[in-house]
Amino acid sequence: FRSQRSYANSKLAQILHARALKRKHPLLSAVQPTTGKKMARIVSVCPGWVRTQIVGGGILEQIVHLAAFHSDGWGLSSLFLALFDDSSSTTTGGADDADFYINSMFLSQVAFAYDYLPQWAYITGLRDISTFLMATCMLWMQRFEPKSITHPSSPESYNLETADALYDWSLAAIQPFL
């Protein structure tokens, strides 16, 4: 599960960085005087399974091509729905604290299971196995309930210390280019 863990960690890093940037960037705390809404916001979006070349060929690419969202269809539009959603409902997105979106009700219905996993499931790899199985099911089930909704992300994605460390590292990494 090393490649799966690497991919998951890269997605976790994106969410952590977005949340740190959301807390630290002055524009993101500015409010429009007429509407009272924030002038800008940062969100993270999980588009589900989308037809891209990330799987790299073979039988897996054929399966993804068969079942995944088209990149020029719902796979892309779900991202835009989340990014430009201006409603105030946390079930449809757009609330000031809404910062993680998913594009299928199926994912929201099965993700709650992670709240009940014991700590040893993380250590032994049981969580990785269950994530792999859930992702495989999602590939086939996500089309039954496509909808852009806000959803809590994994517990690890709320770690402020890790988010701040990643944010500080990213500032140091780009400093020579500023």
- For residues 154 and 86, the model is more confident at 154
pLDDT of amino acid 91: 43
pLDDT of amino acid 2: 64
pLDDT tens digits, one per residue of 153-168: 778 888 999 999 999 9
pLDDT tens digits, one per residue of 129-149: 877 887 777 777 777 776 777
pLDDT tens digits, one per residue of 19-58: 898 888 877 777 778 877 777 777 777 777 777 777 777 8
pLDDT of amino acid 103: 67
Q: Spell out the domain ranges in the chain.
A: 41-153
Q: What is the 3-state secondary structure (H, E, C) of 62-109?
A: HHHHHHCECCCCHHHHHHHHHHHCCCCCCCCCCCCCCCEEEEEHHHHH
Distance between CA 129 and CA 125 in Å, rounded? Answer: 6
pLDDT of amino acid 89: 44
Across the chain, mean pLDDT equals 76
Closest-CA residue to 22 (of 154, 152, 156, 163): 163
Statement: the pTM of the whole predicted model exceeds 0.75:
no
pLDDT of amino acid 172: 95
pLDDT of amino acid 150: 76
How many separate helices (H) and strands (E) can be counted in the chain?
7, 3
